[in-house]
Amino acid sequence: MPAALPDDLSRTGALFEQWRATRSSLHEKIPEELWQAVMALRDRYPVSQLCRELHLSAGALRCELPVKLHRAVSVRSFSQIFVAGSVQAFCVSVL
């Protein structure tokens, strides 16, 4: 029998399930509030577990991480900004 999910991950999973059941289109973007919930969990769980439990693609999460981290941190070193910008540009060009 699989182990029970921690409450915070389980609640976030329920939010994603509710959104998926009520969204108007299969191609609708994930709302900002849900991405914020995922970002709140990123320090407590590995990306692989977040993707598995929340049914997110690793690519979508990688594309969102630099954007969300950039908004959360006001002062960053040049190298961090360069790397985040490069990943963000890659994600945009792939889409």
* pLDDT of the residue at 56: 93
Residue 79 vs residue 7, higher pLDDT: 7
Domain ranges, residue 81: 58-95
Residue by residue, DSSP assigns 53-73 as HHT--HHHHHHHHHHHHHHH-
For residue 92, the Cα-to-chain-centroid distance in whole angstroms is 16
Do residue 52 and residue 89 come from a single domain? no
pTM of structure:
0.65
d(CA 32, CA 41): 14
pLDDT in tens, 19-78: 999 999 988 999 999 999 999 998 899 989 999 999 999 888 888 876 655 454 444 444
94 Cβ neighbours under 8 A, 6+ residues apart: 59
Split into its structural domains, the chain has a count of 2
d(CA 29, CA 35): 10
Do residue 34 and residue 44 come from a single domain? yes
